[in-house]
Amino acid sequence: MPESPWYKQAIIYQINVISYFDGLGTGRGNLTGLTQKLDYLQSLGVDCIWLMPITKSPLRDGGYDVSDMFAINPDYGDLDDFAVLVKEAHNRGLRIMVEMIPNHTSDQHPWFQASHDPSHPEHEKYRDYYVWSVTDQKYRDARIIFLDFEKSNWTFDPLRGEYFWHRFYHHQPDLNYDNPEVQKAMMRVIQFWIDQGADAIRVDAPPYLIEREGTNCENLPETHAYYKRLRKFVEAYAPDTMLLAEANQWPEDTREYFGDGDEFHMNFHFPLMPRLFMALAKADRTPIEQILARTPELPENCQWGIFLRCHDELTLEMVTPEERQFMWDYYAPQPEMRINLGIRRRLAPLLDNDPRCIRLLHSILLSFIGSPVMYYGDEIGMGDNINLPDRDGLRTSMQWDDSPNGGFSKADASRLRLPVIDDPVFGYRKVNVAAAEADPGSLLNWLRNMIRIRKQHPVFGAGRLTMLAPANKQILAYLRDDGDARVLVVANLSAETQKIGVKELFGPTSRWSDLIDGTTFQTNQDIQLEPYGFHWLLPD
């Protein structure tokens, strides 16, 4: 086995900086605070820290509405603080991933200010930086993504007297990639963040750069051509930098984002995610099997990013209408739990806080194809607050201990941006890092161990995955194999004990031992699977 690139063996941990740790007593999380928590992250065993947008922003979309791509939101600190974070992370062998949001800016961005205002001194220079039109009837085949909030992808701008195009909120005008100046400007953004020390870039909402009449304006060839140029630049400038696309698309369309290994290094596997939850809800592996059958091989050096939850809604865009309804009925019975085409809940509450299900899904996350991406707080089983607007309910402060504000901030509670979770089940008095660290049986300590085991076996990161087909559909079974090592994963998706013979799964092979607890199984012996239980089996 040739040594695989770092991101194939990486575990990525996603952080909302504003909610992670306030090291300054301001009531908002900041880079200084995050730097103080690097030891914690190192002890968890993750390799790469993904920071949600830290650039200047009016924060009407969690920072995905950027008003200055070259400056850090003053609440979070400044570029010097970022340099300290990078240095301290690198000292601990941790990498830093930042965001690039190529599709749009905030309407507060100076480019838009100049573009929409004919009396602005720089209007001429910036007039074509955004997608303007005298009618709102163009590109009618493009869907509306934030459909709980927006009626149209066009909004009228009274100053300019024209409509501007936006795939997301109306305060997030889309940049015009038919303008070569925009293309160049965004290259400079990526260069800038590489210069600041970023090891990886998550590229937000990549499918929507270019619009063409008569298409759905997603995944267009011109859009891919731009990403290939971007990659070429990165390859020449800082070849170790990993580019992760967030293309929320069907596997066939997603495949294009990898190109011939000359576009993105990684892309999230969006369609897999809801199917993990579906398979669990139905106690039937079929949804996972079906999506895997549709999942194409990737070029060498490319990798899927897989995840259970993230900062957005659990999106149900990549399922059929019937599957969506099933998921809503099962996982989001109350209307407040739904948003757009998804579910705005965190992992633990979604799974009724059942530790068996939480561990089962994590065991799949850590052993399935691709590199796992974990969402901050899920490692301690944090809850959500569906009374908060938009997706804020699942972006609340990290719960560090049982002191006021969950140890997140020393500021007065009234200065916090979002209230800390304080309910009897998920509240910070009960669910917090300090308590989890002290409890040998906690989810956190269990995960640390699972991550450690995964990292001892590179086959999980770089090996092939073959689905096995035991007659019992309640059992999910797959083989990871890299030519050197083989690991057989078996998982029980149901609430009943199941039995399965190794022979049925894999034919006559001597003896298997469980990587997790050391139990051994003879070929002729049945493997007992507890409700929601699983084994990672290594042939002896």
Two structure tokens written together for 13: 């941990």
Stretch that binds ligand OTU, among 59-67, 158-166, 225-233, 450-458 (CB under 6 A): 59-67
- 102 binding ligand OTU? (CB under 6 A): no
Per CB under 6 A, does 428 bind ligand OTU? no
CA dist 118 and 107 (Å) reads 15
Among 22, 47, 61, 384, binds ligand OTU (CB under 6 A): 61
- Which residue of 5, 23, 27, 62 would you call a contact of ligand OTU, by CB under 6 A? 62
Residue 104 Cβ vs ligand OTU, minimum distance, rounded to whole Å? 7
Residue 207 structure tokens: 């499918």
Catalytic residue check, 204: yes
Interface stretch with ligand OTU, choices 176-184, 312-320, 345-353, 527-535 (CB under 6 A)? 312-320
Asked if 317 is part of the footprint of ligand OTU (rule: CB under 6 A), the reply reads: yes
Q: Does 64 bind ligand OTU (CB under 6 A)?
A: yes
Shortest CB 472 distance to ligand OTU, Å: 34
Asked if 205 interacts with ligand OTU (CB under 6 A), we say yes
**What 3-state class would DSSP assign to 470?**
coil
Enclosing H/E stretch for 163: strand 162-165
Stretch binding ligand OTU (CB under 6 A), from 149-157, 181-189, 204-212, 502-510:
204-212
- Please list every residue from 143 through 162 that binds ligand OTU, using CB under 6 A: 145
What the block records as the tokens of 72 is 């850090």
102: which residues sit within 8 A by CB, 6+ positions away?
Answer: 175, 186, 189, 203, 204, 206, 209
The CA distance from 220 to 223, in Å, is 5
DSSP E strands in 361-510: the ranges are 371-375, 464-468, 475-481, 486-492, 498-501
Which of 75-83, 241-249, 361-369, 465-473 is the region at the interface with ligand OTU (rule: CB under 6 A)?
241-249
Q: Which of 204, 218, 263, 379 is catalytic?
A: 204
Cβ closest to ligand OTU, residue 30 vs residue 315: 315
Question: Is the Cβ–Cβ distance between 466 and 487 less than 8 Å?
Answer: no
Site map 1..40 versus ligand OTU, x via CB under 6 A: ----------------------------------------
- Residue 486, both tokens: 């083989």
Query: What is the nearest approach in angstroms of ligand OTU to the Cβ of residue 64?
Result: 3
Contact letters for ligand OTU, residues 107-146 (x by CB under 6 A): --------------------------------------x-
Q: Is residue 315 close enough to count as binding ligand OTU by CB under 6 A?
A: yes
Side-chain half-sphere exposure of 425, counting CA atoms within 13 A: 10
Q: Which tokens sit at 79? A: 């570029």
By C-beta, is 128 or 317 nearer to ligand OTU? 317
Q: Minimum distance between the CB of residue 147 and ligand OTU, rounded to whole angstroms?
A: 10
Q: Which of 199, 312, 379, 392 binds ligand OTU (CB under 6 A)?
A: 312
Residue 80 CB-density burial (10 A; 0-12 exposed, 13-18 middle, 19+ buried):
exposed
Tokens of 243: 């580019």
Region binding ligand OTU by CB under 6 A among candidate stretches 240-248, 296-304, 411-419, 494-502: 240-248
Minimum distance from residue 100 beta carbon to ligand OTU (Å): 11
Degrees to nearest 5, angle at CA 335 with 378 and 360:
30
195 catalytic residue (yes or no): no
Quick check: 129 and 176 in contact, CB under 8 A?
Answer: yes
Amino acid, single-letter form, for residue 385 = N
Using the contact rule CB under 6 A, the part of the chain among 201-209, 318-326, 381-389, 428-436 near ligand OTU is 201-209
Any residues with CB less than 8 A from the CB of 162 and at least 6 apart, and which?
Answer: 132, 133, 134, 156
Does 384 engage in binding with ligand OTU (CB under 6 A)? no
Contacts with 211 (C-beta within 8 Å, 6 or more apart), sequence order: 131, 138, 139, 142, 165, 174, 217, 220
List of long-range contacts for 323-328, beta carbons under 8 Å, 24+ apart: 323/274, 323/278, 323/287, 326/278, 326/281, 327/274, 327/277, 327/278, 327/281
Task: Report the residue number, 101 or 398, with the smaller CB distance to ligand OTU.
Answer: 101
Using rule CB under 6 A, residue 168 touches ligand OTU: yes
Cα 309 to chain centroid distance, Å, stands at 7
Both structure tokens of 389: 């607007």
Contact criterion met (CB below 8 Å) for 220 and 212: yes
Q: What are phi and psi of 178, to 5 degrees?
A: -80, -10
Q: Nearer Cβ to ligand OTU, position 80 or 336?
A: 336
Q: Catalytic residue among 47, 211, 218, 246, which?
A: 246
- Output the smallest distance, CB 152 to ligand OTU, in A: 16
Q: How many of the chain's residues bind ligand OTU (CB under 6 A)?
A: 17
Contact 304, 372 (CB under 8 A): no
Catalytic residues: 204, 246
Binding interface with ligand OTU (CB under 6 A): 61-62, 64, 101, 145, 168, 204-205, 207, 246-248, 311-313, 315, 317
